């Protein structure tokens, strides 16, 4: 792929939003940015689609060391 295509698609990001609950668990929301108009057109021309936003997950709190 040409460098310009990769630079344009580099604006798409995925992130995890972690929200602690009052009972000691965590709510995990995995989210991605929505493509701007140029990126959406580029993805369409490449025949690619982005996956749907995954559903939230709830689980035990993770300890970061």
6-64 pLDDT, tens per residue?
Answer: 888 998 999 999 999 999 899 999 999 999 999 999 999 999 999 888 899 998 887 65
H or E segment to which residue 39 belongs? helix 37-46
39-61: b (≥16 Cβ within 10 Å) or e: beebbeeeeeeeeeeeeeeeeee
Structure tokens at 24: 């000691």
Percent of the chain with pLDDT over 70: 94
CA distance 6 to 4: 5
According to the model, what pLDDT value does residue 65 have?
A: 41
pTM of the model: 0.65
Phi, psi angles (nearest 5°) of residue 44: -65, -45
According to the model, what pLDDT value does residue 63 have?
A: 63
């Amino acid at each position: 792929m040409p460098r310009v295509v990769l630079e344009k698609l580099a604006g798409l990001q995925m992130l995890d939003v972690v929200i602690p609950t009052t009972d000691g668990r965590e709510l995990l929301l995995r989210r991605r940015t929505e493509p701007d108009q140029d990126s959406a057109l580029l993805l369409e021309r490449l025949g690619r689609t982005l996956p749907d936003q995954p559903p939230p997950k709830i689980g035990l709190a993770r300890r970061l060391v």
